[in-house]
Amino acid sequence: MNRRTFNTKLSQGIAGTALLSGIPLACAMGGAQNKKKLGIALVGLGSYSTYQLAPGLQDAEHCYLAGIVTGTPEKEKVWMEKYGIPKENVYNYENFDSIAKNDSIDIVYVVLPNSMHADFSIRAARAGKHVICEKPMAMNVEECDAIIDACKKSGVKLSVGYRMQSDPYTNEIKRLVSEKPFGKVMYVSSDAGYISRGNPEQWRLDRSLSGGGALMNMGVYSVQSNIYGVGLNPISISAQEFSTRPEYFKDTDESITAQMEFPDGTVGHMFTSHNASANRLFVSFEKGWVELNPCHSYGPISGRTSEGNEIKYPHQSQQKVQMDDFAKHILMGTPNVAPGEMGKRDMIIVEAIYKSIAEGGKRMPLDLGDMGIVKKNI
């Protein structure tokens, strides 16, 4: 879709949400608990759904690709034939709300431009479906609150598409931080970025659709890894923005650096860019260090420690593990490793970064508390 089409669909979606406000909530959630595998419908069939999510679902143990929602009619037949999706499980953005009547779909995964996350997540919740909302969770904190509230009112589960929270390398960093074999963390640094050379009209470069540039895309990974690299939420942040290709990045941020302060005195640094390749996490402890490089990519990931030990896990689809984790949370009551509160916390930090930049790099206090997130999920 081009940006004009997305704006049109967004307007239609908001209208649909308003209309739904007077409709009783769907209440067919009990059946999911009796299933061995949960059906997922992907909303938006762009490159991430096509090349990562759909293939990952073919190998998932606790969920499967049950349906699709697309605004491109040409894609319907292709996906139906490739994945054996029945016609009754195929929706578009106009008839999406009728998904409430479909018992074969338990989870809706919203994989649309950021400006459409809140609308379709809320509509999915009101249809009685559990929700995975792709990162970043929304355009702002207010939308995050609206999504969380809608899911609570409908009694459905909510997760943010933070694939790295299910990755074994991430959890190894968390273990080292928690168990302290190298002592206390003293410094953490995380970089996440790539060089954008594509169509300047793509939605990621349109602030009305993306909400921002590198920070709203890759920067969320840097924010996350700095936090789990310390095991605490930051208490303040200051940030700076740089642009070397203003003719291309006319509407969104190109490169951003930020410095975090943590309550135990640890210092964190992050870098994100749409004009530089960056893919690393470095955690410095009192008695050593650990590095993941590459860190944020789809894998394989690679890690090492100051003792010369390699961190190595068998490579598998991060998306498969992520979706299986959420399905297990619904079916078995296991922890939700990427709850909506985590997405809201990160959006609070993103907004503080943009505010710091607007005020010349001023230090911005952060009052995050635990944001409803248990410590092991930080």
State the SS3 of the chain: CCHHHHHHHHHHHHHHHHHHCCCCCCCCCHHHHHCCCEEEEEECCCHHHHHHHHHHHHHCCCEEEEEEECCCHHHHHHHHHHHCCCHHHEECCCCHHHHHHCCCCCEEEECCCHHHHHHHHHHHHHCCCEEEECCCCCCCHHHHHHHHHHHHHHCCCEEECCHHHHCHHHHHHHHHHHHCCCCCEEEEEEEEEEECCCCCCCHHHCHHHHCCCHHHHCHHHHHHHHHHCCCCCCCEEEEEEECCCCCCCCCCCCEEEEEEECCCCCEEEEEEECEEEEEEEEEEECCEEEEECCCCCCCCCCEEECCCCEECCCCCCHHHHHHHHHHHHHHHCCCCCCEHHHHHHHHHHHHHHHHHHHCCCCCEECCCCCCCCCHHHC
Active site residue 362: no
Query: Quick one: tokens of 157?
Result: 């589960």
How many Å apart are CA 120 and CA 147, to the nearest integer? Answer: 9
Please identify which of the residues 91, 93, 221, 354 carries the catalytic annotation: 221
Active site residue 313: no
Please identify which of the residues 9, 129, 135, 344 carries the catalytic annotation: 135
> Which residue(s) pair with 185 in the sheet?
285
- Which residues are catalytically annotated? 135, 221
